[in-house]
A and B are shown apart, each in its own frame.
Chain A
Amino acid sequence: MDLAMWMDVIARVFSLSSILMAFLGTSLGIVFGALPGFTAAMGVAVLLPLTYGMDPATALIMLAGIFQGAMYGGSISAILINTPGTPSAAATTLDGYPMAKKGLAADALRESVIASFIGGVFGITCLLLLSPQLAKVALMFGPPEQFMLAIFGLTVIAAVSEESLLKGFLSGFLGLIIATIGMDPLLGRPRFTFGISGLTDGIQLVPAMIGLFSIPEVLNIVRDYVFGVSEMTVDVRKLKIGFPSLRHIWEFLSIYVRSSIIGVIIGIIPGCGGSIASFLAYNETKRASKHPEKFGTGIPEGVAAAESANNAMAGGALIPMLTLGVPGDAVSAIIMGALLLHGLRPGGELYKWNASIVFTFIIGLYVACTIMLILGLYCVPYFSKVLELPKHMLAASVLLFTVLGSYALRNNMFDVYVMIVFGVIGYLLKSFGFSVVPMVLGMILGPMAEKGLNNTIAISYGSNIVLFVLKRPICLVLLLFILGSIAFSLYRWLGQRREAYAGD
């Protein structure tokens, strides 16, 4: 990293267009995050088309803003209407809404934005410091390591699947099998295209992700709200938030730091997600507190723990995505799709050849975080207005955007059909209790796994492939990780079965 590169990064990030895009992205992210039923992943997926015509650095800065904004925005509806805008903000409702009911909505919102800012900055700093080191390790990866890494990514994702281990694996392997549709990498011939010419290039990741993350949410708000308007218990026009005292920040510093560390660690583990991070941090803060009985009654410590963890998680989730090409959560999977769209393949090579774009993105995250802080402290009454928007208008606009985003990718109607089909698949999977995140990860890791396996077979020159792989130290380490995650999965699965039979 030389000085010229950093000058280039600073010039890009602090140009007027970048600041404007970061501002626009953060504002839109907060709006999407605040809307109940709309997840941060959906916000990034739906707003991704706005970046199609931009240069990669500006596009990434805007996405950084959407990401940061959406992670924070979820807390606004969690506090004001007891409905988390995003799943990550679920733990914020535990103390945020009781605070609002006590007439302390402004305090809760202030705590939420300060904790989000500190957590966000902590996560980005970890990303800035750790990712270049991990990228150096990633540069040592050959085909066998890439294959093992893809398998490891999948086993971890399935192992931490919230509802059921088997469903996590099924969803992940479904993604792997979908990724085999298209041109086969060995002979370059169409495979599993069922005579449909549009499938020759394979399933396009971005339209599939727009469908998977947007359509199920729209269909759920259709049913859940049957198009009413959310009830607000607070008069948002009278809310005055403002900056907290430094003494308050000092008193809460241990909560912010502890929760941020938890958030980053959870973020790095693929598939865990913000809701796990925020609940874990909430419980740890409660355990460490001198008055744990007050948690859940409306105290700022609860809001601080949940919000700093889920925003720190965002930075952590980007570490494996940028360095290894293994996204830590749904949002980083979509950002990875955006990187691929702009011709940037995550991994060690990205840091070697496109370091200035990567660091523009990371520094852009700091800028987005700062914009989020300013907007959160001074503009929440305006953002809260979106909670009063009729849901049928929101649903119609999101559907328009999903169609537009899928079409605009390649000016191809086939991508719109792909988006709808994947929307229906995503909705059915969710309805049957499957998470779509392992599936997306499977679709991303599939080509890497297949290419890695084919190339490993080729470079092993007919020798025993298992012995060939095991002679490589990184492969051995990855194998240990894979065995560890499978052992953890089996332990969980057996526990589930034991519980089930105990119930009989």
Chain B
Amino acid sequence: MLGDRMASCAFLVLAGTFFSLSYSYPPETVEYVRFISGVLIVISILLFIAPPHKLRRIDLGIIASYEKVLTLLMLVAYVVIIPRMGYFTSSFIFSVGYMYVFERKGLAKHVMVSLIMLLVLYLVFQNFLNVWFPKGWLL
């Protein structure tokens, strides 16, 4: 698959969106935006028409591999539960869960490592740097 052409299309859509949206604002505040998005459109077209064999080919299977998608999904789930369960509880669940998903052996070790890591973060950030984190059901 020609990755560069996909990318140039994405840039075209983005630049086009900003260019068309700029008409809903007072002209003096968006002249700069129109200039930037105009240049972006021109460069995207230049990338699209580049010789095909010079274009980068990509393998979507590698870009969106199981491990990467799973990592991102777990990260999103972790961030979603932070406001409900609190930073430390959700971080503990995420850390143990993440390590366990990718390394099925040594659950006790994962728990220990996560506890130590969170204890260090707690001591450094809350006690030393006075940075406070969201509290939830447990901690």
Chain A contacts to B: CB under 8 angstroms: 49-50, 52-54, 164, 166-167, 169-170, 173-174, 176-177, 180, 184, 186-187, 189, 191-192, 215, 218-219, 222-223, 226-227, 390, 392-393, 395-397, 399-400, 403-404, 407-408, 411, 413, 416-417, 420, 424, 427-428, 431-434, 449-450, 453-454, 496-497, 500-501, 503-504
Report whether A226 and B67 are in contact in the complex, using a CB–CB cutoff of 8 Å. Answer: yes
A428 to B98, CA, bound (A): 22
Report whether B25 and A191 are in contact in the complex, using a CB–CB cutoff of 8 Å. Answer: yes
Report whether B47 and A177 are in contact in the complex, using a CB–CB cutoff of 8 Å. Answer: no
Known: A395-B102, A454-B32. 11 other contacts (CB 8 A): A52-B131, A169-B39, A170-B44, A174-B14, A223-B65, A396-B94, A399-B98, A411-B131, A413-B79, A428-B63, A504-B53
A302 to B129, CA, bound (A): 43
Question: Which A residues are CB-close (under 8 A) to B87?
Answer: 404, 407
Q: What number of B residues sit within 8 Å (CB to CB) of A?
A: 66
Question: Which B residues are CB-close (under 8 A) to A169?
Answer: 39, 43
Among the listed A173, A226, A390, A400, which residue makes an inter-chain contact with B94, where contact means beta carbons less than 8 Å apart? A400
Report the minimum CB–CB distance from B100 to chain A (whole Å): 9
Report the minimum CB–CB distance from B136 to chain A (whole Å): 12
Report whether A173 and B51 are in contact in the complex, using a CB–CB cutoff of 8 Å. Answer: no
Question: Which B residues are CB-close (under 8 A) to A454?
Answer: 32
A167 to B46, CA, bound (A): 10
When C-beta atoms are compared, the residue in chain A nearest to B44 turns out to be A170
A501 to B50, CA, bound (A): 10
Question: Which A residues are CB-close (under 8 A) to B75?
Answer: 215, 399, 403, 420
Report whether A408 and B131 are in contact in the complex, using a CB–CB cutoff of 8 Å. Answer: yes
Main secondary structure of the interface of A (DSSP, over half): helix
Q: Mark B1-32, 1 if CB is under 8 A from A, else 0.
A: 00110111001001100100100011011101
Between A and B, 5 residue pairs with Cβ closer than 8 Å are A52-B131, A53-B128, A180-B33, A222-B68, A223-B67
Report whether A400 and B53 are in contact in the complex, using a CB–CB cutoff of 8 Å. Answer: no
Number of cross-chain contacts by CB at 8 Å: 172
Among the listed A52, A176, A218, which residue makes an inter-chain contact with B71, where contact means beta carbons less than 8 Å apart? A218
Report whether B47 and A167 are in contact in the complex, using a CB–CB cutoff of 8 Å. Answer: yes
Report the minimum CB–CB distance from B132 to chain A (whole Å): 7
A187 to B27, CA, bound (A): 11
When C-beta atoms are compared, the residue in chain B nearest to A417 turns out to be B79
A49 to B129, CA, bound (A): 10
Report whether B98 and A396 are in contact in the complex, using a CB–CB cutoff of 8 Å. Answer: yes
Q: Tell me if B40 counts as interface (CB < 8 A to partner A).
A: yes
Question: Which A residues are CB-close (under 8 A) to B114?
Answer: 396
Question: Which A residues are CB-close (under 8 A) to B125?
Answer: 49, 404, 408
Question: Chain B CB within 10 Å — which of A180, A393, A396 has the most?
Answer: A396
Question: Which B residues are CB-close (under 8 A) to A177?
Answer: 14-15, 18, 33, 36-37, 40
Q: Tell me if B107 counts as interface (CB < 8 A to partner A).
A: no
Question: Which B residues are CB-close (under 8 A) to A173?
Answer: 36, 39-40, 43
When C-beta atoms are compared, the residue in chain B nearest to A400 turns out to be B91
Report whether B33 and A52 are in contact in the complex, using a CB–CB cutoff of 8 Å. Answer: no
When C-beta atoms are compared, the residue in chain B nearest to A451 turns out to be B32
Report the minimum CB–CB distance from B129 to chain A (whole Å): 3
Report whether B36 and A433 are in contact in the complex, using a CB–CB cutoff of 8 Å. Answer: no
When C-beta atoms are compared, the residue in chain A nearest to B118 turns out to be A400
Report the minimum CB–CB distance from A157 to chain B (whole Å): 14
Report the minimum CB–CB distance from B23 to chain A (whole Å): 12
Report whether B36 and A180 are in contact in the complex, using a CB–CB cutoff of 8 Å. Answer: yes
Q: Mark B87-120, 1 if CB is under 8 A from A, else 0.
A: 1000100110011001100000000011001100
Report the minimum CB–CB distance from B50 to chain A (whole Å): 7
Report whether B99 and A170 are in contact in the complex, using a CB–CB cutoff of 8 Å. Answer: no
List 7 A-B pairs, minimum CB-CB distance, nearest first. Answer: A53-B129, A500-B51, A392-B102, A500-B54, A184-B29, A408-B131, A432-B7
When C-beta atoms are compared, the residue in chain A nearest to B35 turns out to be A453
A392 to B113, CA, bound (A): 11
When C-beta atoms are compared, the residue in chain B nearest to A226 turns out to be B67
Report whether A184 and B25 are in contact in the complex, using a CB–CB cutoff of 8 Å. Answer: yes
When C-beta atoms are compared, the residue in chain B nearest to A222 turns out to be B67
